[in-house]
Amino acid sequence: MSCRGVQKLLQGAGSGPAGWTRTPCCCRLRYGPCRARSGPGSGSGPGSGSGSMNVFNREMKRRQKNWAAVLQDGHQYDYLREEVGSRVADRVYDVARSFPLVLDLGGGKSYIAEHLSKEVVQRLVLTDVSQQALKLGRRSDIPTRSVVADEEFLPFRENSFHLVVSSLSLHWINDLPRVLSEIHRVLKPDGVFIGAMAGGDTLYELRCSLQLAQSEREGGFSPHVSPYTAVTDLGNLLGRARFNMLTVDVDDVQVHYPGIMELMTDLQGMGESNCAWNRRSMLHRDTMLAAAAVYKEMYGNPDGSVPATFQILYMIGWKPHESQAKPARRGSATVSFRDLAKVSRPDGADQS
């Protein structure tokens, strides 16, 4: 491969049994035993250690991103990343600080930096697996250095960044606990990680339509939409990576398309094609036709368009530092809960 200068990695800290699984959750509709052909089980088996989770073909993902980056009219597919990038930048502004050195993980054509100013971010390091995306990236007035690097192998020294941001690239990671530990490692103490990834219910309409259509037409179904992390797992993951003061919130972005084919074309143009190992490379044309009909009927809007939901999970985590607030010591309370009633009755009418 190219000389990316991958640094000697520290042994992953999370060597305990993985309590986190990625579920390609079957749609919660009653339709009896499904004989999945290359069933969703392969994507959700818990890894016995840090290194054995291999759900996605990272080489394929790099090729897909390279292909999407050099498309002639690729900018028309950027709407989702721009939206999420601007929301992540909002969260960066919420932190009342300026960051001398910032890392943008999986930034692609860089959708966050254009919303940030030089007062907040002094220098930016942009990484992505796709070299073409970095070459054709957008310019901003923040001095940027681009590094081709896989998110799972960050070639940076520990304690080097004040802020790490990541927008819509963590949902293609094989070993998410390890990546979060890596992010924790490269952050300076009292550094912050602000990330956005596609989660849980993303594209559930597409998944369910394909599932139903394929069950009816072919008698079984195989996963076509990649598995996502659930919201509930995210807090645990960040905690296990030893982040402090966690904030996780969910945003649903719903985009309306004329039909299922336009949706799939846009996903392909965004570089978000499926690259899981367990995907089937073929979609039978009968199934495509059936899925289009089912999608429109089950989820269609009155005006004929169909919605697609992108559930974006935003997370903020801090690397521990002495200056951060700690839970108070037991027994150090100065007021009692019994006084709570007095707070709500300011006239002192009733002393309980």
Closer CB to another protein, 140 or 209, in the complex: 209
Least CB distance to another protein at residue 295 (A): 8
Angle at 306 between CA 303 and CA 307, to 5 degrees: 120
Instruction: Mention every residue, 6+ apart, whose C-beta is less than 8 A from residue 11.
Output: none
User: For another protein, which residue of 17, 41, 46, 219 counts as binding (CB under 8 A)?
Assistant: 219
Helices 260-269 and 204-218 pack at an angle, to 10 degrees, of: 120
166: helix, coil or strand?
A: strand
> By CB under 8 A, what part of segment 130-169 binds another protein?
none
d(CA 286, CA 216): 10
Least CB distance to another protein at residue 122 (A): 44
Least CB distance to another protein at residue 265 (A): 9
User: For another protein, which residue of 48, 79, 286, 301 counts as binding (CB under 8 A)?
Assistant: 286
Least CB distance to another protein at residue 286 (A): 7
User: For another protein, which residue of 116, 148, 203, 213 counts as binding (CB under 8 A)?
Assistant: 213
Tell me how crowded residue 25 is: count the other CB atoms within 10 A of its CB. Answer: 15
User: For another protein, which residue of 258, 277, 301, 340 counts as binding (CB under 8 A)?
Assistant: 258
- The answer to whether 294 contacts another protein (rule: CB under 8 A) is yes
User: For another protein, which residue of 6, 9, 17, 31 counts as binding (CB under 8 A)?
Assistant: 31
Contact predicate 102/88, CB 8 Å: no
Residue linked to tokens 């073409």 = 132
User: For another protein, which residue of 158, 190, 201, 262 counts as binding (CB under 8 A)?
Assistant: 262
* Strand pairing category for 187-198 and 244-257: unpaired
Contact predicate 126/137, CB 8 Å: yes
Q: Which residues are at the interface with another protein (CB under 8 A)?
A: 29-32, 212-213, 215-219, 258-259, 261-262, 286, 288-290, 292-298
